[in-house]
Structure 1
Amino acid sequence: MSAGSGVKVKVQKFGNFLSSMILPNIGAFIAWGLITALFIPTGWLPNKALAELVDPTVTYLLPILIGYSGGKLVFDHRGGVVGAIATAGVIIGTDIPMFLGAMIMGPLGGYVIKKFDKMVEGKIKTGFEMLVDNFSAGILGALLAILAFLGIGPVVDAVSAALASGVERLVGAGLLPLASLFIEPGKVLFLNNAINHGVLTPIAVEQARQYGSSVLFLLEANPGPGLGILLAYSFFGKGNAKKSAPGAAIIHFFGGIHEIYFPYILMKPLLFIATIVAGMSGIFTLVTLKGGLVGPASPGSFIAMLAVTPKSFGSFAANIAAVCVATIVSFAIGSLILKTDKAGNENLEEATRKMESMKGKKSRVSGVLTDSKTLDPQAVKKIVFACDAGMGSSAMGASLLRKKVKAAGLAINVTNTAVSSIPSDAQIVVTQSELTPRAKEKAPDAYHVSVDNFLSSPSYDLLINQLSRGEKAVPEAAEESSVAPFVDGDILRKENVFINQSFKSKEEVIRFAGQKLVEGGYVKPSYVEGMIARDQLMSTYMGNGIAIPHGTEEVKKEVLASGIVIIQIPESVDFNGNKVRLVFGIAGKNNSHLEILSKIAVACSDVINVGEMVRAQSVDELIMVINHAVAQNA
């Protein structure tokens, strides 16, 4: 790896680390923004008493949440607690929202307590472990809080003031649009959250406190540049890119998922020009018309933007004009680039893989492996995916990894099982992070991998790259294969696919799925409670907006026959903070459901396929999307 690429990877990892401190707490940012927009004197519903919530929320709650998240990233809950204590010191030592200080003290607190625990490991007398744990966290947290109060806080305060002054000078000189030279490419390099929440938001929050709004909240969140690119593809793109762009535009503009347009940029890097010029045009419009927001628009959707726009016609006009101008400019330049391009069909899948690789998102397999053991790639012959019951998430993960193993020409058997039934000959065991301790107890000699998202392709690619260092098997002769239809007369019937459903809670949708399995003759009624228990024990959210509720190992005996129920929830339902739009209720007997589950895994590993399934208007259309995805990957 060249020095330049090494620096690039480090920058991306640093950006991802900053993002991981902010993104879990976006709900709190939105709450603060809504309270501000509603109850301040110039808000929609001015209320002096409720407006008292604004300053404490932004001064104390948000930084402490960031500090806790930063510490937890370094050393789990224990690191989070010490990080939060240390962050309290930097908050109290200044009089501005201390987001930057929290991003420093949170991870520092986690690092210090992690090093302390490693230093005393094996040296504490039996019976004194809890005493040492509690007092060490308290003492080190207090020392860090004092350090933050006396030293870090004033330094960060000065840095924040300097950054704010620099931004004000850029605004005064009319040079703020130049920020798009860094912001728009930074988005696609996944530095958007580091730029937005690490630099712009702290300054914007202070500006909003003083002046009622800030233009900085919209520099990165403006959906216009991305919308213009997707509209250009809708009219002048080719192949799958053109077909998928309209749906992606809706998700991007109204859902605020900016990541969905990044692969379209990577297919045609010249489109960076379109987004940069569009970003500049949008910022120029905002500055000229004096637009801005009272809080962060996160996610960066048009609806979220309107929700935190100040209550005045001028502010609405300015913000909407900025989005429209950016969209028009991006569409015009993007269309010109696509119309003059002579290349063939765009390879959207390849661009998406490139994007995911660039993102380098850790699903804990990206570590890659959780053990300190040495892995001999040449000796690996068996990988086992394990989940609580062995018939849901592990089956999907095994299907995806099995496909990649075969494509890499590796002679490795990939199977799945319940965590309590991990075979003794398993050499690599893959589990959800919460199950890893149990898996290690069951298979102490295996090499353990923890994942948070069983549908995360980059995670599997990293593991394959490690295993590929060994000798590859001679590829077998290609076999003719036909893709079996997704609908099976016994396991999945069309009447078990439910379109356009709505639920208030995850328990409600799980019970609905369980009841349909009961009505289909697949399970006994008591199986439903096992499905609820399984999700309470460990979330059945799989990533990409998918959940696959199924029973615990204890209720396997209640399964009469393998069956699957599909439930489409366009408006989503919350699964422990994750938005789920497709639910696959599963009952498995004698592994006869695994072929269909494998097809589900293949189809749902691509977020674009998931979007098409969510938008499907009929049972036949939804099944057709899955069949098409399976056929493409056969």
Structure 2
Amino acid sequence: MTTTSPAAQRTGGLRTGVQRFGTFLSGMIMPNIPALIAWGIITAFFIPVGWTPNDQLSTLVGPIIHYLLPIIIAYTGGTIVYKTRGGVVAAIAVMGAIAGSDYLIAQVNATLPADNQLGQIHMFIGAMIMAPLAAYSMKWLDSLWDGKIKAGFEMLVNMFSAGIWGFVLVVIGFYPVAWLVNGLMNVLSTAVNWLVETNLLPLTSILIEPAKVFFLNNAINHGVLTPLGTQQAAESGKSILFLLEANPGPGVGLLLAFTIFGIGAARASAPGAAVIQFVGGIHEVYFPFALMKPVLILALIAGGMTGVTTNMLFGTGLIAPAAPGSIIAVLGQTFRTDYLGVILSVILSAAVTFVISMIILRASRKKDLAKEDAFAAAVAQTEANKGKSSDALSGLAAKAAGAAAAGAAVATDRRIENVVFACDAGMGSSAMGASVLRNKFKKAGVEGVTVTNQAIANLDGTADLVITQQQLTDRAKAQSPNSIHVSVDNFMNSPKYEEVVEMVRDQRKETP
């Protein structure tokens, strides 16, 4: 059992709050990435500068990004909060923001010359505002008359209440929300344009790279970069902003450095992690390697800045978000004339991160080797993955370790039949971890255990055991407090998987 100081709790609470906010944004955006990809393909082929220009099919570009994408984002956000009812009211509400934005821009354009007109502002941020506002308020209103409606009038009240409240929200979206979002987008666009014009855009890596390692990137990526990048892509056909966070170069550079200059289990697992990160696009697999030795974040920042600088020099960008951040997805969304610059940005960012990581790892190699001892292989692997021994065996512990009794006590209190891997989006890294544990159960001959993956926000308390990466465990506990929780540093290869398998196997022996 470990304790946390009040200062650490405050820090963790702030981080957890930002993570939760980023997760909600991610939950609205990620399921709709296929629509963004489809829009990107249409743009790549059919706009005047596309691969196969087509005046008729190019008319799809505007309506999809201006109406379809914000509406389905709002609907998705509403369903997260209040299922279908929340989604429908949110979709109604965001139309007010879309129409209000168009009206405000039309008023300004009426005062401008014909050759200097403002373009449309696409309501991605408006959808992210209206969705929770609409769904939470509808949920609260329904609670006011829950159980107080006479039998036979439920449908009538439900339909009219949602319709009337949707009308109110349309008006709210048309005036204050549209005004707010238009102003915010103008400020953000001006800031980004200033960074580009002053050649300071690479400085964004100072914020983005550490945010990724601490699982705080979703708020930046989905809250700012995706809306602004989509706006730019709609106007010019591409955007460099899609490459600020998705570039797989820094991560693979770090993992290659561990492959050659690392020690112990970190070195052994780095090659597989590099393939998964670079080809599969699951960036989370390199986060534990950076957290082992936080000074390595400097290498990631330098690599990220190198990639952004390269893209600026070549004027390159993507036509739509690359999700996941795989080299395949990045190349698939690259503007048709920009392959050289994008490929060089990935290679050079990987090379810079590799060189700086190599210097850091070699400089500390003697010290790292001196820390190795004769602990059991599982402990050594945990230490290598985490970079320290304290807290490494918290949660479920091996029976041979000192915390075995606590682990065994938990095991006998609840029969493990439903294991859930949870991460921010419920895809990628959690799916990989679920697959690894599923295979371990199969090899051990353990049956009757379901292993699935889902987003933390979707945890409903039915899981017997929830496995998360350490930085996300607090949120998972809040979402599913009655489940057993296990924290791991690396979904791909954690010694705690063996402990889980052993515990479940022992349960089956004791209770046939």
Tell me by how many angstroms 1:544 deviates: 8.4
Contact residue 89 and residue 145 of structure 1 kept, 8 A: yes
- Bigger shift: residues 110-119 or 26-35: 26-35
Indicate how the Cα distance of structure 1 residues 47 and 118 shifts in structure 2: closer, same or farther if over 3 A, else same.
Answer: same
Structure-to-structure mapping, 1:513-532, within 5 angstroms: none
Give the Cα–Cα distance (whole angstroms) in 1 for the partners of residues 78 and 407 of structure 2: 38
User: As a proportion of its length, which structure holds more helix?
Assistant: 2
Aligned residue for 1:319?
Answer: 342
> Are positions 1:236 and 2:247 aligned together?
no
Task: State TM-score, norm by structure 2.
Answer: 0.72
Please tell me the residue identity of whatever aligns with 2:82: F
Cα RMSD over matched residues?
3.8
Structure-to-structure mapping, 1:236-315, within 5 angstroms: 236-312=261-337, 315=338
Give the Cα–Cα distance (whole angstroms) in 2 for the partners of residues 348 and 26 of structure 1: 36
Give the Cα–Cα distance (whole angstroms) in 2 for the partners of residues 19 and 221 of structure 1: 14
Please tell me the residue identity of whatever aligns with 1:340: A
Q: Secondary structure at the match of 1:108?
A: helix
Q: Secondary structure at the match of 1:174?
A: coil
Tell me by how many angstroms 1:7 deviates: 2.6
Indicate how the Cα distance of structure 1 residues 302 and 130 shifts in structure 2: closer, same or farther if over 3 A, else same.
Answer: same
Q: Which 5+ residue runs of structure 2 have no aligned equivalent?
A: 1-5, 102-119, 373-378, 388-395, 425-439, 456-485, 507-512
> Are positions 1:186 and 2:196 aligned together?
no
Q: Which 5+ residue runs of structure 1 have no aligned equivalent?
A: 355-397, 419-430, 432-452, 459-483, 493-521, 523-539, 546-601, 611-625
Contact residue 264 and residue 348 of structure 1 kept, 8 A: no
Indicate how the Cα distance of structure 1 residues 353 and 135 shifts in structure 2: closer, same or farther if over 3 A, else same.
Answer: farther
Among candidates 131, 151, 156, match of residue 106 of structure 1: 131
> Are positions 1:607 and 2:497 aligned together?
no
Among candidates 72, 80, 86, match of residue 73 of structure 1: 80
Tell me by how many angstroms 1:34 deviates: 2.0
> Are positions 1:121 and 2:146 aligned together?
yes
Contact residue 19 and residue 193 of structure 1 kept, 8 A: yes
Indicate how the Cα distance of structure 1 residues 31 and 485 shifts in structure 2: closer, same or farther if over 3 A, else same.
Answer: closer
Contact residue 85 and residue 141 of structure 1 kept, 8 A: yes
> Are positions 1:334 and 2:357 aligned together?
yes
> Are positions 1:23 and 2:30 aligned together?
yes
Tell me by how many angstroms 1:349 deviates: 4.5
Among candidates 221, 226, 232, match of residue 246 of structure 2: 221
Aligned residue for 1:407?
Answer: 406
Cα shift readout 1:540-559 (whole Å, capped 9, x = no counterpart): 771289xxxxxxxxxxxxxx
Give the Cα–Cα distance (whole angstroms) in 2 for the partners of residues 325 and 29 of structure 1: 28
Please tell me the residue identity of whatever aligns with 1:226: G
- Bigger shift: residues 337-346 or 212-221: 337-346
> Are positions 1:202 and 2:227 aligned together?
yes
Tell me by how many angstroms 1:275 deviates: 0.5
> Are positions 1:141 and 2:148 aligned together?
no
Higher relative contact order, structure no. (Cα contacts within 8 Å, ≥ 6 residues apart): 2
Q: Secondary structure at the match of 2:420?
A: coil
Please tell me the residue identity of whatever aligns with 2:193: E
Aligned residue for 1:62?
Answer: 69
Tell me by how many angstroms 1:71 deviates: 1.6
Structure-to-structure mapping, 1:182-581, within 5 angstroms: 182-312=207-337, 315-341=338-364, 342-343=367-368, 344=371, 349=382, 407-408=406-407, 410=409, 413-416=412-415, 454-456=420-422, 542-543=452-453
Tell me by how many angstroms 1:10 deviates: 1.9
Give the Cα–Cα distance (whole angstroms) in 2 for the partners of residues 302 and 282 of structure 1: 13
Tell me by how many angstroms 1:326 deviates: 0.6
Please tell me the residue identity of whatever aligns with 1:61: L
Contact residue 39 and residue 51 of structure 1 kept, 8 A: yes
User: How many equivalent pairs are there?
Assistant: 413
Please tell me the residue identity of whatever aligns with 1:77: T
Q: Secondary structure at the match of 2:85?
A: helix
Cα shift readout 1:108-142 (whole Å, capped 9, x = no counterpart): 01111111011112221122112111111111112
Among candidates 18, 23, 32, match of residue 39 of structure 2: 32
Give the Cα–Cα distance (whole angstroms) in 2 for the partners of residues 632 and 245 of structure 1: 28
Please tell me the residue identity of whatever aligns with 1:47: N
Contact residue 217 and residue 296 of structure 1 kept, 8 A: yes
Indicate how the Cα distance of structure 1 residues 205 and 309 shifts in structure 2: closer, same or farther if over 3 A, else same.
Answer: same
Indicate how the Cα distance of structure 1 residues 108 and 350 shifts in structure 2: closer, same or farther if over 3 A, else same.
Answer: farther
Aligned residue for 2:509?
Answer: none
Contact residue 455 and residue 605 of structure 1 kept, 8 A: no
Give the Cα–Cα distance (whole angstroms) in 1 for the partners of residues 397 and 163 of structure 2: 46
Give the Cα–Cα distance (whole angstroms) in 2 for the partners of residues 203 and 486 of structure 1: 46
Indicate how the Cα distance of structure 1 residues 121 and 351 shifts in structure 2: closer, same or farther if over 3 A, else same.
Answer: farther
Give the Cα–Cα distance (whole angstroms) in 2 for the partners of residues 134 and 353 of structure 1: 54
Tell me by how many angstroms 1:304 deviates: 1.0
Tell me by how many angstroms 1:282 deviates: 1.0
Q: Secondary structure at the match of 2:452?
A: strand
Cα shift readout 1:297-316 (whole Å, capped 9, x = no counterpart): 1111111111111112xx11
Give the Cα–Cα distance (whole angstroms) in 1 for the partners of residues 172 and 125 of structure 2: 15
Cα shift readout 1:540-591 (whole Å, capped 9, x = no counterpart): 771289xxxxxxxxxxxxxxxxxxxxxxxxxxxxxxxxxxxxxxxxxxxxxx
Indicate how the Cα distance of structure 1 residues 487 and 608 shifts in structure 2: closer, same or farther if over 3 A, else same.
Answer: closer
Please tell me the residue identity of whatever aligns with 1:319: V
Indicate how the Cα distance of structure 1 residues 189 and 173 shifts in structure 2: closer, same or farther if over 3 A, else same.
Answer: same
Give the Cα–Cα distance (whole angstroms) in 2 for the partners of residues 349 and 241 of structure 1: 9
Tell me by how many angstroms 1:259 deviates: 1.1
Aligned residue for 2:21?
Answer: 14
Give the Cα–Cα distance (whole angstroms) in 2 for the partners of residues 86 and 25 of structure 1: 18
Give the Cα–Cα distance (whole angstroms) in 2 for the partners of residues 301 and 208 of structure 1: 20
- Bigger shift: residues 317-326 or 48-57: 48-57
Please tell me the residue identity of whatever aligns with 1:323: V
Aligned residue for 1:519?
Answer: none
Tell me by how many angstroms 1:406 deviates: 5.5
Cα shift readout 1:24-82 (whole Å, capped 9, x = no counterpart): 22222222222222222222233222222222221112111211122222222221221
Percentage of identical aligned residues: 46
Contact residue 26 and residue 218 of structure 2 kept, 8 A: yes
Please tell me the residue identity of whatever aligns with 2:420: F
Indicate how the Cα distance of structure 1 residues 194 and 164 shifts in structure 2: closer, same or farther if over 3 A, else same.
Answer: same
Give the Cα–Cα distance (whole angstroms) in 2 for the partners of residues 225 and 139 of structure 1: 51
